[in-house]
Structures are given as structure tokens and as C-alpha cells.
Amino acid sequence: MSEDKKLSANEPLKLNSDYLRGTLAEEIADTSNGAISADSQQLSKFHGMYLQDDRDVRAGRRKKKLDKAYSFLIRVRLPGGVATPEQWLALDSISDQYANGTLKITTRQTWQLHGVIKNNLKASIQAMNKVAVDTIAACGDVNRNVICNANPHLSDVHAEAVELANNISNHLKPRTRAFHEIFLDEEKIISSEEFEEPLYGPTYLPRKFKINVAIPPHNDTDIYAQCLSFIAIVEDKKIVGYNVTVGGGMGMTHGVEETFPRTADVIGFCTPEKAVDVAEKVMLVQRDFGERGDRKWARLKYTVERMTADGFLSKLNEYLGYDLEPARDFKFESNGDQFGWVKDDKGNHHLTLFVPGGRVLDTPSCPMKTGIAEIAKVLKGEFRMTANQNLIISNITDAQKPEIEALLEKYKILKTHERTALMLNSISCVALPTCGLALAEAERYLPTVITDLEEVVEESGLRHDAITIRMTGCPNGCGRPYLAEIGFVGKGPNKYNVYLGGGFHGQRLNKLYRESVSGEDIKALLSPIIADYAKQRNDGERFGDFVIRAGYVNETTAGNNFHANILTEVGV
């Protein structure tokens, strides 16, 4: 980036914020309104929160000349998605006392709370702090929550991977005390600039930065969608090192073909003791060479695209002071979660529950939120959230398993995963009514779409055949829709771009099949293709591979041809 290039507005804002302090403390203390200024909204993201409003009531309030129904989303930093029973109970209580009474499990293995009004922000954060949970760097131009494979088949290997996720998270966590001063009432200590933020500096990163740790053959964390991933290479039930991937990312902008999702490149291998250093140096290359003039091109994926993977590796080796080793062989076989009971190599049990849309709440047919809280009161293990928005009740002993099963039965939770494989392999972002970027519904609408499609799924004998299906309300890609075999991306109210042909293991981007499809037309559009797949597929052929072979879409071979080779009838 040239020295005289104009910077985006966020860059001087960060520079002049006194390391993310700005006027946040004063604005949060102001009880005369429920919002904060535009500048403070940008800074609040670094502390794990977004200002939102209820868009369902926005028009009605405008007619009555009322202000928007403002509230905040709070996102927790939880490396590896592992939470103690005490932490679960605390978040459950906070959600009831200060939020909308639900817990949202995100695609980065953590909780989100919705509906927290400004007056309750500090109380919520302080309640989290009592159980060693915080929201630092859960959003913003920093390293976000580090995610990791959730289901521990090999407990020692999984423990190593989770430890790496924690170590990376702690090492790359911003050092500014702004969060503690603003939300935990810590007294400000005058410090030197170098001590304040030794890694990030005063302008932090150009955009968000996402890191992932995965253990083949399970790619439930979607390593190809991440800025940086570590793929564990396991020999004799021990991690001997990690393949390193860089340059994945999902977001794009409708109508701007220079923006595109991109799958990550495998660039080398490092031994376990070097992994944290590699993570730091990859982040620093992005800090120094990422785009700071236009935020649409500021993600690491565009830095790698611009430099090329080989060029990025060369610069990374320079920053490291040593060369990454050649990548080792690995193979992924699954992308979704494995539901039901699993017994690990030490004899402990782990139960993966399906959580529709990642939303933990009570319904008349399934009081899941109450049931999980009751389990948390007696659980001797822990909870693990998955990157597919589901929940694992983990490390249950033989002795405690009957007690847990009884509670699962009592609260009608035990059989939540007895759904079609299509439903079980679904992901949706929050979208409406709270996300300010949403162009269409997602979490509230995807179950309807899947229910409509389940008719042809059942008729075609595909009830137990997994097809990845994802819906997001806008093109930013929070639910990783561009890696799905069937992806829906909001284009406008009740309008979706439909994408087909993603790789089942998360290894290939999909391709636009139809543009601006009405929600009620999705069933008619896709049912014949699903039926055709059931009749014409080869043995073991996945839906995403079939639609390419059958000519419904062309294959996307790289992010930079995501918008190319689209069939001409796409707008029909």
C-alpha cells in the first residue's frame, strides 16, 4: 500500500482512540438515550459488542416519532468453545436477567447475547467476569475467537489442540486495559505506547482476523474459510505438528465482482512449539501489508490474493526468521457434527445435541434452555460448542451418564438430533430482526425452507444423506454459505441468491445458480434437483459434486473465479 494512499475512516479513529477508549465510558454512562455515537459503535466492537435495534418494530416506532428500539449484542471470547458448567449457568442467568432470555451459539463456538440495553451492559460484563469470561476481541479489527474441533474422540490429541487455541488466543489478545477500565471500573494506569499494544500498535489490524485449529478427518471448523488455520498432523495418537493454511474468508459485496469468498491455501508445516509464533507472524504480515484504504479489500484473503500464496509464504518466512517445512499429507472426511453419543479413548462419554439455528431457548415441545441449565447444575464434565452452532455435553463418566440421560429425557432434549440429515447439516446467521446488515431473513426462515424441501428428501430416500445447507441474510458470509452444497444469501426482502456445488468437506466454493429467488419459490426450484440427485448419483457421490457433474452449475476452482463461468439462465 502506498504511503500517500487515503486511509479508511476507521484508521484515524483507531489511531486517535487512546487504545480503544475514545468516549465509550462517558457514552455508556449517559442514560438519556439507548445508543452510542457512530465512532463509539466502531470502538465497542473491539470490546465484543454491537449496537443494534429491533427492525421488526422500527417502522412502527418511526411513525410514532419514537427512537429506535436500541439494544446491544454481546459476544463472548471462548477459545475452543469449551465452557464449564458454572460458566454456562452464569450466561444462562445473564441472558434471563439482562438479555432476551435466549443464548445464541455462533459459528465461532461461543455465546452471543441479544437484547442487552445500554444500562445493562456493565452489569452483564461484570457478571461474566465473576466466572472468568470476557468479551475482549470477540469483534473488531483484531484476532477473533480461536476455534477448534469440538468432539474429542482422542482425548489427549483434542486436549493439545484446545490448548493451542487457548495459547494463541491469549498471546494475540489486545493488551490495552480499556475494556477493564470501561466495564470493570479498573483505575487507569499511565503506560508507555509500547507496553499498551506491543503487537497490534495503535491502529490494530486492517480488518477482523480469524484462526482455527482442526484435527483430520473432521473439518467441522471449516478451515478453508479462515484467515489462518492449523491442521493437526497426528502420528501414534500424538500431534507432531500442524499444516498451516492462510487466506480463507467468506465475505463479499453484491454487485462488486472484485470482492469474493476465497478458500485458504496450504503453505507449509510447523512443529507444535512454533505454532504460536507462526500465528503471531502471520498476523503481523497482515498488520503491515493488509489494505487499510478500503475495508472491502482489507481481509487477509485479499492480501494473500495480491501477494500470491508463494509471495506471502516468502514474507512470512522473513518475519519468522526460519522457513516453514513442506506440508504433510492429510485428509478430511466430514464437515458437519456427529450427533448422539461418542465414547473417547479414555472411556468418557460426549453427547452432541442439535440446536436449531444455534438458538438455545425453551419451546413448548422442547424446554432446552431450562434442561441444559439443570444438567449444568450436576455436570462433572464441561460443555463444548461447535462451529456448526450445536452443543456437546462432554466428559461424562459411566457413573454419571444415567443421571444426565434422565435429565435429557425429562426435558425432551435427548432426541433433538432425530431429524433429517438435511436439517442436521444446516447453519444460519441471526439476520433479522437484530442485525443491521441483513437484507433478508435467515435464522427465522431457514427451518421453513428445509421443512419444505424435506418432502422431496423423504420421497427420494435421502433422509439420512447429509447435504450441507446454509442461509445468511446478507453477503458478508457469517454462516459460511459459500462453502455449502446449497447456499442461500439474502439479496433483499424475501429474495435470495441460490448457490450450488460447494464441497461436502468444506474444500470447494459453490457457484451462483439462480439470482433473487423468492423464498416461496425455493422448493419448486430445488426439489427436481434433489430428486435427480437421488436417482442419478454415483456411489458415494455428494450432492455438491453431483450438481457440477450433472451440469447445474460449473465448478468454482478458486475464489477469483467465483463470479466467472455462471450459466446464462441464472436470472431466470
Catalytic residues: 75, 144, 208, 210, 429, 435, 474, 478
Distance of CA 161 to CAs 120, 245, 344, 392, 444, Å? Answer: 35, 16, 15, 17, 34
Separation of alpha carbons 425 and 467, rounded Å: 6
- Give the residues across from 570 on adjacent strands: none
Among residues 532, 419, 412, the alpha carbon closest in space to that of 469 is found at 419
- Report which residue type is found at 250: M
Residue type, 455: E
Helix (H, G, I), strand (E, B) or coil at 162: helix
Binding residues for siroheme, by number, are 478
List the alpha helices (DSSP H) in 272-390.
275-289, 300-307, 309-320, 368-378
Binding site for [4Fe-4S] cluster: residue ranges? 429, 435, 474, 478
Please, are residues 356 and 81 in contact by the beta-carbon 8 Å criterion? no
Rounded to the nearest angstrom, the gap between the alpha carbon of residue 243 and the centroid of all alpha carbons in its chain is 21
Edge-to-edge order in the sheet of strand 469-472: 426-428, 469-472, 486-492, 495-500, 511-518
Annotated binding-site ranges: 429, 435, 474, 478
Give which of 261, 283, 160, 171 is closest to 214, Cα–Cα. Answer: 160
Counting Cβ atoms within 10 Å, is residue 212 exposed (0-12), middle (13-18) or buried (19+)? buried
The bridge status of strand 111-116 relative to strand 82-83 is unpaired
